[in-house]
């Protein structure tokens, strides 16, 4: 899905999760309302693709959550009985079940808030877990990152190689100390830090970019290189994320233009 459809799907899912009952008709109403609010135009095929994706996601998470809740209740009841009977063997089995359940819940959370390709936080995590009503909770610095000539990589070497490039960049950004890296959309990434100043983060990203640029990426007999443009903006508590992102996007555009 493209950037607009991803944003539309995310804001729709955010609204849907507030409801106790979600029918396809309800989801569709919210979907179209949000599309109108965001002034997003799309084809019928795009609408169908986005809604099928979201509904499958909702149903899967609903099924898995209900299953985990049922298992949890069963374990609690069994634990009460085992404690009353002083049955240590039963308690040991229940403990192992709880460990398995904890792993499963962790996997569900990862599916919801972690990008499966880069293993970075996704935009859903950003809006639902990090931001507070689309505002920042404390002061910090935000970098908006966009790969240069990524379309060319996909066109020439194919999307599988393109995915590998995104994975490499994700690993590099994840290693930046005292920061959080997010795959925002496609080949766009965000790095947020509450410790680094604007100048410090700029220095770090310049180093990352130089190292990435000097790394040989191979496809068959071909060797190619990638790098990125970025824009950095400082933000304060209660600043609007949308406003800060627009400023960072503008700064990134100027950086991209200056390096051509």
> pLDDT digits over 121-174, tens only?
988 889 888 999 899 999 999 999 999 988 888 888 888 888 889 999 999 999
Residue 234 has pLDDT above 90, yes or no: yes
Mean pLDDT of 3-21: 66
Span of 34-43, 143-152, 207-216 with lowest mean pLDDT: 34-43
Pair 138, 252 in one domain: yes
Most confident of 21-35, 53-67, 94-108: 21-35
DSSP-derived pairing of the beta strands 140-147 and 121-122: unpaired
Pair 9, 33 in one domain: yes
Range of the domain at 206: 121-258
Q: How far is 91 from 99, CA to CA, in rounded Å?
A: 12
Number of domains in the chain: 2
Pair 247, 143 in one domain: yes
Tell me the two tokens of residue 131. Answer: 């931001």
DSSP codes of every residue in 112-140: HHB-TTT-SEEHHHIIIII-BTTB-SS-E
Q: What is the pLDDT of residue 131?
A: 92
Q: What is the pLDDT of residue 67?
A: 66
Return the closest-CA partner of residue 65 out of 23, 28, 31, 112: 112
Pair 67, 83 in one domain: yes
Pair 107, 138 in one domain: no
Q: How far is 12 from 27, CA to CA, in rounded Å?
A: 8
> Residue 117's pLDDT band (boundaries 50, 70, 90)?
confident
- Tens digits of residue pLDDT in 42-96: 676 766 666 666 666 666 666 666 666 666 667 666 767 767 777 777 667 766 6
Q: In angstroms, what CA-CA distances link 53 with 5, 201, 236?
A: 11, 36, 35
Residue 2 has pLDDT above 80, yes or no: no
């Amino acid at each position: 899905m493209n950037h607009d459809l991803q944003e539309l799907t995310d804001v729709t899912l955010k609204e849907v999760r507030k409801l106790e009952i979600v029918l396809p008709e309800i989801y569709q109403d919210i979907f179209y309302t949000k599309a109108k609010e965001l002034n997003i135009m799309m084809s019928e095929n795009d609408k169908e693709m986005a809604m099928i994706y979201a509904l499958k996601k909702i149903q899967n998470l609903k099924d898995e959550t209900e299953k985990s809740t049922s298992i949890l209740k069963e374990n609690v009841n069994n634990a009460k009985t085992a404690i009353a009977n002083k049955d240590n063997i039963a308690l040991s089995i229940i403990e192992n079940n709880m460990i398995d359940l904890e792993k499963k819940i962790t996997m569900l959370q990862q599916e919801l808030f972690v990008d499966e390709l880069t293993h970075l936080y996704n935009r859903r995590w950003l809006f639902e877990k990090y931001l507070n009503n689309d505002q920042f909770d404390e002061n910090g610095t935000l970098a908006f990152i966009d790969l240069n000539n990524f379309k060319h990589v996909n066109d020439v070497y194919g999307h599988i190689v393109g995915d590998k490039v995104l994975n490499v960049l994700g690993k590099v950004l994840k290693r930046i100390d005292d920061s959080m890296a997010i795959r925002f959309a496609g080949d766009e990434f965000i790095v947020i830090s509450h410790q680094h100043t604007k100048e410090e983060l700029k220095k770090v990203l310049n180093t990352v970019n130089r190292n990435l640029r000097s790394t040989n990426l191979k496809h068959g007999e071909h060797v190619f290189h990638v790098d990125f443009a970025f824009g950095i903006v400082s933000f304060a508590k209660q600043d609007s994320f949308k406003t800060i992102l627009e400023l960072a996007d503008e700064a990134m555009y100027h950086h991209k233009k200056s390096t051509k």
